[in-house]
Structure 1
Amino acid sequence: MGSRRLAAAALAAVAFFVAAPVDAQKAPSPQQSAALATYERALGDFKSVLAERRRQIEAKQPLPNLPGQALYLARVAVISSYKDLTDVTPSRIGRPNKFEIPPAYFDADIEPLVEEYGRLFDIMEAPPAGAQSSPTPFKDVVDLAVAIARAKGLAPEHAETAGRISLGLFFAETNGKQNVRNARSNTYMGSFQTGPSEDRNGRRKWEKIKADVAAIDPHLSARNDREEARARGTDQRFNHWTNVRNGLMNAHADLFREIPGIVKTLPDPIDQMKLFQLIQIVPTPTRSALKSGDLLNYRVSSPRIMRYLRNNSIFAFGQADRAKTSASYREIFAAMWLFNRKFEKAIAKYAEIKAR
């Protein structure tokens, strides 16, 4: 009798564990169904705009003004709606992806679509005819940054840090491609994506320190003279050397003086690159944060600044991120995950340059 009771109890336990997963698979809630429908619609739109742009390019049809904007917005919608979906259905969070996007924001199954997105941008942003490329684009960035930092008074060690950071900016702006156009802007062009006024401002600042640079590095100064002669009468943004030089002088050279303190506050090279990239995106609050003495806890709350951050893929994806009305720099750094892969490439390229 006792053995029959034990067997019955065992069968009941087995039945419970077999049935439990079925019971757990409840019908999706209205919120979950709506989030899934929104994601599937965004994914369909992304596929559609990719196919349309590919068809136009292969048919050699005229492209619309800012041909990359529709693609960019469609990609943002896919990532945003996927994050909204995983927020209400965590089981949809999948495996890691090759782009190192947090899995809660991205379904690795659509990697081929994002690869096609990149190929289309490569075509749309190809350098114009007559662009003056360099056979050593990465080394140029490092050499220019180091020379400028030395002219600003930095010791060799910290000047090398300026070189590594500047290489990160090159990857952040163009993924390391020189002389590119911009499929989302008619203003910002070249290896460092500067506008005409920024380029002119950088040239003026260069004139003030070029004699100091020549004293420190005559070889680099001679190279600069050759590039200036080559670029004479053209848009200097489409000579790799002069655009990098002018871009660094415009936005970053004065901040190079702060590198010794920045390295103490931000020992991680990727965080250092993020800080200088924020100088590119939101310079005024970033400089204020540095002066505050408490960089990581400094908060921004201006709607305009938050809009600039979102337009540069920071707090841009999903309702929860987009609802933020303020953020500390610690939170901003954490939200710059889309830049991590680019900065890792820059660090690897810097190590390769130094090894030579």
Structure 2
Amino acid sequence: MGQADAPTKKQSDALNAYSKAVSDFESILGQRRAQINSKRPLPNLPGQALYLARISMMSAYKDLTDALPSKIGRPNKFGIPPAYFDADKEPLIDEYRALFDILEAPPANAQKSDTPFNDVVDLATGIARAKGLDPANAEAAGRISLGLFFAETNGNQNVGNGRSNKYKGSFQTGPSEDHNGRAKWAAIKASIAAIDPALILRDDKEEARAGNLDHRFNHWTAVRDALMNEHADLFPQVAGIVKILPDPIDQMKLFELIQIIPNPTKSALKSGNLVSYRISEPTIMGYLRNNSIFAFGQADRAKTSATFREILDAMWLFNSKFERALSKFDEIKAGQKG
């Protein structure tokens, strides 16, 4: 029996880099857990080091499986492509998510909703109808918007942000975005009242309840203002978007890109050839990477441009969130019919 070939230097380097990345990830997870359990002060942006360590581990694994394809293992429960993640490391991601739940817990004065998912759908649908959409396309806008809620916060309301001091709340908006959304809501409110007066009664109650509170920490006003800030301007294009991107998850991904790279996404929609529209600006590619798109491994990170079809396909980390959103949307619609 012949022996297996000895690993090349590239393969050995990849193995060593991955081992170090796993060790580093385990170390920062343990450090944060100890700080939290002992109630020691946390650093500014306590989730950033966790995030970077997770990215580094997955990147090192992708480099390893590129160098040694035999290292690609079994599927994992997170739906991450096996070339990017070793299923044996699932407990590390479980701890990662548990820590972020602590780091991003809502502030004590946050005003939660007992119907957070319905609120997103109701607001988006009402806004879409006021923008002139028929019931079917308004429903699509509601479904897409629920996907955004899951993309931004895993469907958790009023959360903080362990990686940013600027973006907060159910839709992770900054103060200027929230204020802009409030102004746009005021301009469209009368049109919505004519279509859905019950929605406006709820809105008046939530406005009174919020008072002087940061509106991003009242779930209703946070969702309302975030949708009005950017996404509602694109609701009139929903019918065309659905034709170009018939997959509901692709539709959600496109609207999530309005959150990440708004101006290039709008330009792509105006181009007349959305899926082939190419992004090549280094700054924009950097924004994508900062949101876990083309962020894993040397081959991904070396990309200097990408079409929107390639970007949508690279957003696989969002798939499980959007699948949960679709399931929740189906529950909501079934409840309305019942």
**TM-score, L = length of structure 1:** 0.94
* 2:103 aligned with 1:124: yes
Residue 237 of structure 2 corresponds to which residue in structure 1?
258
Tell me by how many angstroms 1:251 deviates: 1.1
Residue 179 of structure 1 corresponds to which residue in structure 2?
158
Distance 1:289 1:315 in 2: 19
Distance 1:110 1:251 in 2: 38
From 77, 80, 84, the counterpart of 2:59: 80
Alignment length (residue pairs) = 335
Residue 234 of structure 1 corresponds to which residue in structure 2?
213
Distance 1:218 1:334 in 2: 40
Residue 114 of structure 2 corresponds to which residue in structure 1?
135
Residue 283 of structure 1 corresponds to which residue in structure 2?
262
Tell me by how many angstroms 1:240 deviates: 0.1
Residue 17 of structure 2 corresponds to which residue in structure 1?
38
Gaps of at least 5 residues in structure 1 are 1-18
Residue 338 of structure 1 corresponds to which residue in structure 2?
317
Residue 199 of structure 1 corresponds to which residue in structure 2?
178
SS at match of 2:177: helix
* 2:275 aligned with 1:274: no
* Residue-by-residue CA offset, 1:40-77 (whole Å, 9 max, x unaligned): 00000000000000000000111100000000000000
Residue 9 of structure 1 corresponds to which residue in structure 2?
none
Tell me by how many angstroms 1:119 deviates: 0.2
Amino acid at match of 1:250: N
Amino acid at match of 1:326: S
Amino acid at match of 1:285: P
Write out aligned runs for 1:302-313 (5 A). Answer: 302-313=281-292
* 2:222 aligned with 1:243: yes
* Residue-by-residue CA offset, 1:66-103 (whole Å, 9 max, x unaligned): 00000000000000000000000000000000110000
Distance 2:258 2:107 in 1: 28
Residue 225 of structure 1 corresponds to which residue in structure 2?
204
Residue 142 of structure 2 corresponds to which residue in structure 1?
163
Percent identity of paired positions between Structure 1 and Structure 2 = 70
Distance 2:41 2:246 in 1: 48
Residue 332 of structure 2 corresponds to which residue in structure 1?
353
Higher CA-based Rg: 1
Distance 1:258 1:122 in 2: 35
Residue 64 of structure 1 corresponds to which residue in structure 2?
43
* 2:32 aligned with 1:49: no
Residue 279 of structure 2 corresponds to which residue in structure 1?
300
Distance 2:188 2:309 in 1: 34
Tell me by how many angstroms 1:307 deviates: 0.2
Distance 2:59 2:230 in 1: 31
* Residue-by-residue CA offset, 1:204-248 (whole Å, 9 max, x unaligned): 000000001111111111000000000011100000000000000
Distance 1:258 1:232 in 2: 34
Residue 300 of structure 2 corresponds to which residue in structure 1?
321
SS at match of 1:242: helix
Residue 128 of structure 2 corresponds to which residue in structure 1?
149
Distance 1:139 1:123 in 2: 25
Distance 2:174 2:235 in 1: 21
**TM-score, L = length of structure 2:** 0.99
Residue 4 of structure 1 corresponds to which residue in structure 2?
none
Amino acid at match of 2:159: V
SS at match of 1:143: helix
The root-mean-square deviation of aligned C-alpha atoms, in Å, is: 0.5
Distance 1:279 1:58 in 2: 38
- Large movers: runs of 4+ above 4 Å: none
Amino acid at match of 1:117: Y
Residue 7 of structure 1 corresponds to which residue in structure 2?
none
Distance 2:231 2:67 in 1: 42
